[in-house]
Structure 1
């Protein structure tokens, strides 16, 4: 799309100033100036009327503006008797970044109706006499998007749109497409056509491999047309990830930034380039995605019927290695990266970090873990009201004692959890090339009751699966690593909090290890050296709950989220399926 800004020109030459007082153009410099002014106003009729062949001029000028847009400035550079030089600058393409600058020579003659421009299309634009001009970007050889091993992840491919018009034989079309997409039926096609109110609809986009066996039959179906076009597609048709859209946007941005351009004249034999600039080469985009882990994560979520997501990062680098969602999650959007939910007990990693840094407890401090506690007017139960009595903090964490954590948080300053969360990347916004994310929100808890809610990942605290994966990565790393999905292009945070004290990071990791060996995630004990934290987060009417699990396995940190799972069990099981498959 092009804007239609007008560039008005003020001519300072004395003859033009004097001519403003006359009734019409009566000398060559005046008519040249008025011609340029009319062109700058996009006033085709006025410009054509100043020529000796208004009909031809009007037709050519109308087509010129249709082909190149209207962001142009014309100036009369000089007049020599009956000739003049016309300088022009066009701003072409998206945002007018492509500029075409030239100077032409024109002529004027004094006739019965005064001075007129001798109509010559090339006076307005070189090549216009050859035929109508048009602009188009010229793209470089398409780059590829690579995975972490250098394998091809995405590449530009030809796809064919199967377009259907009113009155088409939808039964015949559905029968041909059924082996590829069983959801397409004659009834579904008729419904889409009815909703389109007479306009054609696209039934499906087919890759060459899917199109080839049925192309002749498709082309023969009445009311069906095939429209090939190029798109950036995954090399593996089965691969799906919300991270791919950001990589595709980055790919398109790089292609646009390096594109050249061409102005072409239409001739009877085709087109002829009049002006332009060659494109610059673009480099392949080296993503950080680990295909084996990505596929393992997708397979781990496949048995889950509720929306579910997994995000995994390398703590040592911040590289995002997997972003997976199941079909139910895909229907809700990129929830793995931007969906905000109460993180439940996985947030206790933040709570114990804040308490340890405050110096009020150590991992061995013995604290009460009653089944139910009334803290600052808020009744806090443990899961199924389990009661551990008096236990060390590390046991209360591993067994996920809500009552213990709520009592700890009451004694903390209002911003303690906010600051501790920021140390682990939660509540930090990152601008990351190729990746759009939200981490979460941990506002200061100004009242003791709010701190109780926040301590167990409820109340005003929210997090995304990406945010909780970053929390796990930050615990493993000792500070929040800048996330990246393109090698060497890390995200930029909106603020940089202090690093987590090394001793505190080690203490939290030890508690997360105990969660797996003797706490709420013992079904994963067979996975060597795994650290983790389970979470169940109530929502709506406290009769529904999301399930969470965050973990660290060597140089891998991850978060698993299952919407409305009613327990952490499905998330823990999914983590196990992913880790065992990836070993």
Structure 2
């Protein structure tokens, strides 16, 4: 009997304990559910817990849209179950996440274009208080915009924005502005709102023709048709080009004029593949110095800063581009119908003075910096250096230069089969004897040409701030037949105009300079071979002068300090490419003309490049 009573007492005691352990209060549950919904960015779920779901949903959605966070956490800090109130702690991570590095367009090296140093994400933390008596009894949370952020009202919302520390300029070598941030206007056509695309195209073309002569009514109509109801950007105009036609453009059905800020050249005529890298460096500087703010935006459009950090001024970017040299290079090739490029480098410092392409070349990409082609006879600078370093010949060694020769089973002809007989090596070089160079290569080792090319920077990969480049490749030539092909710049040998400019700069200086587009920021090389002996480069410079005074480039003999080497490079299909590499004072350069069928167009372009700027060329 006593045992039964003991069991009954224990049972009653358990029921009492169960009644005391009722779990979270209504207030705690409501606060946690509201915090969880906000953390999940589920505006509707959070709003449904409030007394005004429609107003709450709109406010919460607007907050997330305006702040666009990387991450957000709402947690319950305190609760008062009797009063039905609670405090939330909000922690925001704001700002765009760092993008992943992307390969540089046209690059065939391992170099990538990566963003600048990763900035720490912006953090914003605060607490809010809300709830209401109804919550204690399981009712709805009383809606108040200040549940989301302190000071928020029904007529305001929040937004995240960046704060520029100022707009730095990109300067040329003379310290004058080369590029600056300017306002442009996008001439867009919303094809979904264009009742008659043909009429719109016909109205736009004559208005834009003075700025873009190649833009026609037919081309605009084709672009509109291809858009399939989307918005088309027909052209982007600078303010000076827009001003005379702004009213007429705005009156064309479907046209919208949209303002943007962009980094542009101060002179619209300036163009160069090198500008793309400078733009990227400018943007990296902007990103690294940009401030940020959370703003309270009111119904009338005004905004107050809630929190944030001011941006710091980014420094100007001092480029090495010389405006006179760049302009002369661009003018020298602009009218050529074939793809053409000129790269000029100051040998003493590695400063890139000019990178120029004409329109046909630019349509193919940055060929001046990354296009790879057989260098033809300009590569005889490397072949001759290798031969001189071997000790088997001197500049005065007499060698045969027949019109053609069967070397290792391949018939090697001179250009036009010219025959000089037996001549000194310096004469064979100046007249570009294929037969002489091919025979010299037979006795070389498999790595001789490869190693000699590296001594002049050809085949070296450079990582240069603001400049994506590929110099070329000179593979090991295991067989004599392969060496014969390589010796005359054919076979597997390739070079870019930049690469051949580096060869000329290396010969001029005696060592290979580190290329540099931004003052004080030279490139770094993946290999640093010892330079060719000083006597060899001295002898090469003398031979290159003879090329101008008595060889294949005599049309440039009026240029008293010029040294050079011509080149014609056969290709599998189509006419041969034309080359000329040269040294004039403290300027080394390469001229490339695709499909020229001889070196003459490249040599003529070199003359047009050099003659107008003789007085200003660095010496």
TM-score (norm 1): 0.91
Q: Distance in 2 between matches of 1:559 and 1:197?
A: 45
1:33 Cα shift? 4.2
Q: Could you give the per-residue CA deviations for residues 451-492 of structure 1, whole angstroms, max 9, x where no partner exists? A: 111111111111110110011001111121111111111112
Name the counterpart of 1:535.
567
Distance 1:436 1:127 in 2: 50
Residue 185 (structure 1) aligns with: 216
Query: Do the aligned partners of 1:311 and 1:469 also contact (CA within 8 Å) in 2?
Result: yes
For structure 2, which runs of at least 5 residues remain unmatched after alignment? 1-20, 99-118, 615-619
| Deviates further, 203-212 or 35-44 | 35-44
1:428/1:493 contact within 8 Å kept: yes
The equivalent residue for 2:454 is 422
Local SS of the residue matching 1:293: helix
Whole-Å separation in 1 of the counterparts to 2:546 and 2:139? 95
Compared CA separation, residues 366 and 176, structure 1 to 2 (3 A): same
Query: Structure 1 residue 203 and structure 2 residue 234: aligned?
Result: yes
User: Paired residue for 1:581, among 612, 616, 619?
Assistant: 612
In the alignment, the residues of structure 2 paired with residue 419 and residue 505 of structure 1 have an alpha-carbon distance, to the nearest angstrom, of 15
Query: Does 2:396 match 1:364?
Result: yes
Mean CA deviation greater in 153-162 or 287-296:
153-162
After superposition, residues 174-573 of structure 1 pair within 5 angstroms as 174-270=205-301, 271-541=303-573, 544-573=575-604
Partners of 1:223 and 1:424 in 2: how far apart?
Answer: 57
1:37 has 2:62 as partner = no
SS at match of 1:324: strand
Secondary structure of 2:159's match?
strand
Q: Is the 1:93–1:136 Cα contact (8 Å) retained in structure 2?
A: no
Local SS of the residue matching 1:298: helix
Question: What is the count of residue pairs matched by the alignment?
Answer: 561
Q: Is the 1:294–1:322 contact (alpha carbons within 8 Å) kept by the matching residues of 2?
A: yes
TM-superposed deviation, 1:364: 1.9
> In the aligned structure 2, how far is the partner of 1:24 from the partner of 1:531?
92
Query: Are residue 122 (structure 1) and residue 122 (structure 2) matched?
Result: no
The structure number with the bigger radius of gyration is: 2
Offset at residue 280 of structure 1 (A): 0.8
Q: Distance in 2 between matches of 1:24 and 1:540?
A: 83
- Tell me, yes or no, if structure 1 residue 138 matches structure 2 residue 163: yes
Q: What secondary structure sits across from 1:161 in the alignment? A: strand
Whole-Å Cα distance in 1 between the matches of residues 545 and 76 of structure 2? 79
Q: Distance in 2 between matches of 1:159 and 1:24?
A: 63
Counterparts of 1:376 and 1:262, CA distance in 2 = 73
Aligned partner (choices 168, 182, 187) of residue 162 of structure 1? 187
Equivalent position SS for 1:283 = coil
- Report deviation, 1:357: 1.9
For 1:85-140, what per-residue CA distance to the aligned partner results, in whole angstroms no more than 9, with x for missing partners?
51413232243854132121324457465386554433433454362222222222
Q: Which residues in structure 2 correspond to 1:4-23 (within 5 Å)?
A: none
* Alpha-carbon distance in 2 for matches of 1:425, 1:29: 71
Question: Cα distance, 1:291 vs. partner?
Answer: 0.8
Per-residue CA distance 1:229-270 (angstroms, 9 max, x = gap): 222111111121111111112112211221111222221121
1:90 aligns with 2:96: no
Q: Hey, what's the Cα distance between the residues in 1 that align with 2:22 and 2:254? A: 60
Do the aligned residues in 1 keep the contact of 2:26 with 2:136 (CA within 8 Å)? no
Deviation for aligned residue 1:335: 0.9
**Cα gap change, 1:50 to 1:200, in 2 (>3 Å):** closer
Quick one: distance in 2 between partners of 1:421 and 1:539? 21
Distance in 2, matches of 1:287 and 1:297, equals 17
Q: Show the counterpart of 1:4.
A: none
Contact between 2:78 and 2:87, CA under 8 Å: does it hold in 1?
yes
Question: How big is the shift at 1:568?
Answer: 0.4
Partner of 1:19: none
SS at 1:232's partner residue? strand
Residues in 2 aligned to 1:31 and 1:289: alpha-carbon distance in whole angstroms: 65
Between 422-431 and 371-380, the greater mean CA deviation after superposition: 371-380
What whole-Å deviation, never above 9, does each CA across 1:488-546 have from its counterpart, x for those lacking one?
111121222212221111111111111111111111111012110000000024x6200
After superposition, give the CA deviation of every residue in 1:117-176 in whole Å (9 maximum; x if it has no partner): 554433433454362222222222211111111111111112222223432533333232
Q: 1:25, 1:115 within 8 Å by CA — same for their partners in 2?
A: no
Counterpart position of 2:60: 61
